[in-house]
Amino acid sequence: MIYLDNSATTIPDESVVQSFKQVSEKYFANPSSIHELGADVERLQTKAREQAATLLQIDPSEIIFTSGGTEGNNLAIKGVALKYQGRGNHIITTEIEHASVYETCKSLEELGFTVTYLPVNSDGVVDVQMVRSAITNKTILISIMHVNNETGSIQPIEEIGEIAKKHPKLFFHVDAVQALGKVPLQLHHSGIDLCTFSGHKIHGLKGTGMLYIKKGTVLYPLFHGGNQEQGLRSGTENVAGNVSFVRALRLMMERKQKGYGHLQKIHQNLFNHLGKIDGVYINSSEHGAPHIMNVSVPGLKPEVVIHALFEKGIVISTQSACSSKQSDKSRVLDASGRSSVVSSSGLRISLSYDTSEKEIEIFIRTFTETIKHLKDILE
């Protein structure tokens, strides 16, 4: 099998799975318990938090462990909105955000918040000047993703962070789920107040993740109860999951150092060859994230192409895995100015550091043959 759906989820690293198993078996006690077994578990989680902080060059107190990207995005956005609604009710985001941001903002509109959904250009990138111009005296939050999960477009987060620094009464949230370990992002002194990460996108386990919360940033919690995670996420901690997330994070950082050039090379190879196939339209920028490539084959239903490739041992996807069963048309491609026929036929090919050049060669050959075969049938 050639697995090219890594933006939906990555294959868990065996050592990450083992770390989860070992912690679950040996450190099973509740970390809130006052006996020594509980204290051991609490110390283990504290150590994991410190390790994550070192890897990301932040303070351990700025880390809240979560169940993944959706929870992290909801906590960041709703946490700011509900806490600071007395200061203002305006939120700025873009038209191409992941559903966990886009739908969260939509839900807040029902509660009386005003949301500005900024457009993007044909490369799927927001204009920094438009971000600046959208800010009003009622703006309390800017939420913009770093790397788009469908096309791999990279947003100018550093420049937006500089704008955010000049407006101390608003907060800047970044969904970095697809960026972690693939596209560099500095948190300290960046202007970023909140940043979301997910474990299963970095060869970790589903149900694990992290939210960076800059010192001084206060949120309204979504969960109330036992005051775990600094009172922001009540509920008995998933210590085995948290430890496994940190292990996956460390391994991902190591992979990035050794394999980034390789990832760029196979991405460029994909871009060059797919662009030469008759009837194939490339939706991703050549200068986007090195692990995501989005193409459309107008006239062919994405699910037909996906199933045909799967029968030949190749796995790709369409849209975001969170939205692929809801609509034929990609909101992201539509917002990027693609025609209806292109927006309705998008295919996502997503790589990992484990993807080999040989696998990409096989994919390109098989994809070309499959497209030709399917079109011949239609004719």
Domain spans of the chain? 2-8+260-378, 14-251
| pLDDT (tens digit per residue) in 162-191 | 999 999 999 999 999 999 999 999 999 999
Q: Is the pLDDT of residue 32 over 90?
A: yes
Tell me what the mean pLDDT of segment 56-74 comes to.
98
User: For the whole model, what pTM was predicted?
Assistant: 0.95
Q: Hey, what CATH class is 14-251 in?
A: alpha beta
- Among 134, 222, 315, 322, the active-site one is 322
What confidence score (pLDDT) does residue 324 get? Answer: 45
Residue 326 has pLDDT above 90, yes or no: no
H-only helix segments in the chain: 14-26, 36-56, 69-83, 99-109, 128-134, 157-165, 239-274, 302-310, 331-335, 340-343, 357-378
Average pLDDT over residues 62-88: 98
Q: Is the pLDDT of residue 323 over 80?
A: no
State what percent of residues in the chain have pLDDT above 90.
95
Could you confirm whether 322 is annotated as catalytic? Answer: yes
Contact call for residues 281 and 342 (beta carbons, < 8 A): yes
Mean pLDDT of all residues in 122-148: 98
Report long-range pairs for 165-171 (Cβ below 8 Å, ≥24 apart).
Answer: 165/191, 167/135, 167/139, 169/87, 169/88, 169/140, 170/88, 170/135, 170/139, 170/140, 170/141, 170/142, 171/80, 171/84, 171/140, 171/141, 171/142, 171/217
Residue 236 pLDDT > 50: yes
Q: Alpha carbon 250 to chain centroid distance? A: 17
Q: Which fold has domain 2-8+260-378?
A: Aspartate Aminotransferase, domain 1 (3.90.1150)
The tens digit of pLDDT for each residue in 40-52 reads 999 999 999 999 9
Give the span between the Cα atoms of 293 and 151, in whole angstroms: 6
| pLDDT value at residue 327 | 54
pLDDT band, residue 376 (cuts 50/70/90):
confident
Q: What is the pLDDT of residues 255-286, one digit of tens each?
A: 999 999 999 999 999 999 999 999 999 999 99
Is 2-8+260-378's fold the same as 14-251's?
Answer: no
Mean predicted confidence (pLDDT) in 298-307:
96
206 versus 323: the higher-pLDDT residue is 206
CA 329 to CA 70: how far, in whole Å? 22
Average pLDDT, the chain: 96
**Distance between CA atoms of 196 and 57, rounded to whole angstroms?**
15
